[in-house]
Amino acid sequence: LFVDLGKKSYDILFSDSFNGFAKAMSDINAPKKLLVVTDSNVEKLYADEVNDLLIKNGYDSKIYAFTAGEENKGMDTILGICGACIEHEMDRKSMIVALGGGVVGDMAGFAAAIFMRGIDFVQVPTTLLSQSDSSVGGKTGIDFMESKNILGAFHQPKLVYINVATLKSLPNEQFVSGMGEVIKHGIIRDSEFFDYIEKNSDKIKTLDNETLIKMDKINCSIKADVVEQDEKENGLRAILNFGHTIGHAVESAYDFKMTHGECVGIGMVGASYIAYKRNMIDESTLNRIENVLDMYGFKIRVDLPEKEVVYGYMQKDKKKIAGKLKFVLPTKVGEVMQTTDVSKTEIFAAFDYITK
């Protein structure tokens, strides 16, 4: 799959092994000196395989692993990566290989964006969330002072290499989380894709490689298409926030103990309910969205804290425009619209709807 961003264009390759990775690196004329950045979990599973393959193919490659977890997505880890770059005597032409989930991708990408004012990097995503969402689009960054992704840079990778076989070792809750963004892509942009995930849930849930490759490919093409039209999020790209206005607030309300994708699932139901109440979608569409989420194991009804508290979290959303909350609402499966005029009453009704 080709992501067309002019001079910053790159390919996304799909495979069920790492075998083709060295060839893919040579196809993009990767430099000899590489740093494979990964986290402590992925290090144990895949880092040696990838690093050995690179060394065998003549690269001067080293592994740098940091402790896994969102709580380590901060400046200390970035400095650690940059330190490893210096120790490995990397220069402007060297390259970082981000091997892991979204946390690795966001941080390795950010380190690549600032080391020597920017070096190249490639993404080798190993979670469903990163294979279907975060590895495409060029957003990199870290959390700071309780704010998620508040420091960062746009920095496009030179290549995304997706090995769907890595999903076999992924904990189930992480797989469900990734499905949140997958289902989201169907609802915002592609009703045929939504049909596909609705009809192939068995093959997807049992991690059939061929089905996963097909699913990831359509997924990335939807994300890439949106990003190509609006690289820096001035308009269209904001539709990717479907489910996120309420979803982020639920995530905060649960003190980040629920996965991101599961919260986005709840947020999508909330936003769809608002659309249903406005007569933008009918009841069967609302039910269909809920059913697909249910099929993939999402909790849709939750014990929310006090509505005012959750609403308070929404007010901190960094995607507000001129103080107004931005909502993405479905008009049908495959199409959404953006609005800033959703009232507090409508939001509270949505909270009631998603509460047990």
In the chain the first and final C-alpha atoms are separated, in Å, by: 42
> What is the closest distance, in whole angstroms, from the C-beta atom of residue 241 to ligand NAD in the complex?
11
Does position 274 bind ligand NAD by CB under 6 A?
no
* Total binding residues toward ligand NAD, as defined by CB under 6 A: 28
Task: Give the Cα separation of 195 and 62 in Å (integer).
Answer: 43
Does position 231 bind ligand NAD by CB under 6 A?
no
Report whether 157 contacts 141 (CB < 8 A).
Answer: no
Q: Of 116, 151, 101, 105, which is closest to residue 31 (Cα–Cα)?
A: 116
Q: Of 160, 150, 87, 82, which is closest to residue 114 (Cα–Cα)?
A: 82
Does position 68 bind ligand NAD by CB under 6 A?
yes
Stretch that binds ligand NAD, among 39-47, 84-92, 111-119, 301-309 (CB under 6 A): 39-47
Does position 104 bind ligand NAD by CB under 6 A?
yes
Cα 17-19-21 angle, rounded to 5 deg: 100
> What is the closest distance, in whole angstroms, from the C-beta atom of residue 105 to ligand NAD in the complex?
6
Does position 102 bind ligand NAD by CB under 6 A?
yes
Please list the residues that pair with 82 across neighbouring strands.
Answer: none
Does position 262 bind ligand NAD by CB under 6 A?
no
Place of tokens 């969330």: 129
> What is the closest distance, in whole angstroms, from the C-beta atom of residue 34 to ligand NAD in the complex?
20
Q: Which is nearer to ligand NAD, 98 or 286 (CB)?
A: 98
Residue 38 contacts by C-beta under 8 Å, 6 or more apart in sequence? 46, 47, 63, 64, 65, 98, 99, 100, 104
Does position 70 bind ligand NAD by CB under 6 A?
yes
Does position 243 bind ligand NAD by CB under 6 A?
no
Does position 157 bind ligand NAD by CB under 6 A?
no
Stretch that binds ligand NAD, among 164-172, 214-222, 229-237, 295-303 (CB under 6 A): 164-172
**70 CB-contact burial (10 Å; exposed 0-12 / middle 13-18 / buried 19+):** middle
> In the window 72-91, what residues touch ligand NAD (CB under 6 A)?
73
> In the window 278-317, what residues touch ligand NAD (CB under 6 A)?
none
Q: Which is nearer to ligand NAD, 77 or 94 (CB)?
A: 77
Show the binding pattern over residues 176-215: x = contacts ligand NAD (CB under 6 A), - = does not. -x--------------------------------------
Residue 7 DSSP symbol: G
Report whether 33 contacts 95 (CB < 8 A).
Answer: yes
C-alpha dihedral, 119 to 76 to 181 to 206, nearest 10°: 100
The alpha carbon of 268 is separated from its chain's Cα centroid by a whole number of angstroms, namely 16
Does position 131 bind ligand NAD by CB under 6 A?
no
Give the DSSP H/E element, type plus range, for residue 39: strand 33-39
Does position 247 bind ligand NAD by CB under 6 A?
no
Which of 25, 90, 100, 245 is in the footprint of ligand NAD by CB under 6 A?
100
Does position 354 bind ligand NAD by CB under 6 A?
no
Q: Which two tokens stand for residue 36?
A: 């494979």
Please list the residues that pair with 13 across neighbouring strands.
Answer: 161
Please list the residues that pair with 1 across neighbouring strands.
Answer: none
Q: Which residues contribute to the site for ligand NAD (CB under 6 A)?
A: 39, 41-42, 45, 68, 70, 73, 100-104, 106, 126-127, 129-130, 133-134, 137, 139, 148-149, 166, 169-170, 174, 177
